[in-house]
Amino acid sequence: MLARVWFITGTSSGLGRALTEHALACGDIVVATLRKPEALADLSSRYGSEALLVLRLDVTKMDELQAAFGRARETFGRLDVVVSNAGYCVLSEVEGTPLDVARSLFEVNFWGAVNTTREAVKFFREVNNPPGGRLVHISSMTGVNPSPSASYYSASKHAGEGLMEAMSGELNPAWNIKVTIITLGAFETRVMKESLVRVPQHPAYAYEGSFTSMARQWTETVTLPGDITKAARAIHQISGDDDVPLRVALGEDAIEAVLTKSARLKEEVERSKHYSSDLKADTSL
C-alpha cells in the first residue's frame, strides 16, 4: 500500500505531535509544521528526511504557508491529507478580555485555519494528479456547545466549523476533495496547561457561584479524560474512511455535548416558532 503524505500544522505537542508520531509509525510520510522546529528533533533523528519534513510555520503568515506547501510539493510531489490543527485557548470573560488578545486568538484559530484550508484546496486541485485529498479540520466540542470562560475560543471554533461546512458545499465533486470536521472532546494536552492563556478575572465576575471563577479553579487541577494518542489513532483511521460524515464528534464527552446542544436547539425552536406564524408577505394586494 502506497504511503500517504500528510501536512499537519501545530505539531510541537498535543494532538499535532501525537498524529505525526502515529502516521510515521504507520509508514506514512509527514510534513510537520510548527513555530519551533527543534521540538521535533527526536523524530527527525528517528525517521530521517525521507519520511519526515519539519518546517517552521506561523499559520497567521500567508507567505510562510505558501512556502511550506511549496516545499511539500518540491519534496514529495503530492499531499494526501492536510490537518489544520494549530490553535490555543484563552481563559477569560468576554467583557474582561483585551481586544488585542481576542484578535490574536482569532488570527491563529480561525484565520490560520482559513489560510491552511485555502492552500490545501488549491494543492489538492492543482498539484495532485489525479486531483483529490482529505482536509481534516480540528475543532472542539465548544465550537458546537460553547463554554462560558472560554467564550472567544468557543467563538473561534464555531466560526471555523461554519466556514468548513459552508465551503464543503462549494467544492466541485470532480476535485475529489473530502472535508472532515473533528469536533474534539476533552483530551489531555498542553491546551489546558502550558499553552492556556489566562486573562485576569474581571472584578465584576468574582461573584459567588460565578461559572468563570469555578472554571479558573477547575483548570488548575483537572486531568482531562481523553488519551490524545488514541485520538490520533482514530483520526488516522477517519482520514482513510470514504464513508465518514462531514462532522465527527470524537470522544464520548463530545458526543454528549453535541447531542445536548441539538436537543436544546430543537426545544428553543419549538417554543418560539409561533412568532413566525404570520410573517409572510401578503401577495394578494
Written as one string, the DSSP assignment of 4-20 is PEEEES--SSHHHHHHH
- Rounded-to-integer distance, Cα 147 and Cα 153, Å: 9
β-strand partners of 177: 133
Q: How would you classify residue 42: left for phi > 0, otherwise alpha for psi between -120 and 50, otherwise beta?
A: alpha
Q: Which residues contact 184 (CB under 8 A, 6 or more apart)?
A: 15, 138, 139, 140, 141, 231, 250, 251, 254
What grid cell was written down for 71? 516545499
pLDDT at 237 over 80: yes
Q: Which of 79-88, 211-220, 252-261, 271-280 has the lowest mean pLDDT?
A: 211-220
**In this structure, are residues 212 and 151 in contact, taking their beta carbons and an 8 Å threshold?**
no
4-52 pLDDT, tens digit per residue, is 999 999 999 999 999 999 999 999 999 999 999 999 999 999 999 999 9
Average pLDDT over residues 207-217: 89
**In this structure, are residues 240 and 23 in contact, taking their beta carbons and an 8 Å threshold?**
no
Domains assigned to the chain: 5-266 (3.40.50.720)
pLDDT of amino acid 8:
98
β-strand partners of 180: 136
What element of type H or E holds 247? strand 247-250
β-strand partners of 182: 138, 248
**In this structure, are residues 86 and 112 in contact, taking their beta carbons and an 8 Å threshold?**
yes
Residue type, 257: A
Catalytic residue annotation? 139, 153, 157
pTM of the complete model: 0.94
Alpha-carbon torsion, ordered 265, 268, 274, 276, to 10 deg: -50
- Rounded-to-integer distance, Cα 15 and Cα 88, Å: 12
Which pLDDT band, with edges at 50, 70 and 90, does 219 fall under?
Answer: confident
What grid cell was written down for 78? 503530492
Q: Return phi, psi of residue 12, to 5°.
A: -70, -30
Q: Which residues contact 239 (CB under 8 A, 6 or more apart)?
A: 4, 81, 134, 136, 180
- Rounded-to-integer distance, Cα 250 and Cα 110, Å: 20
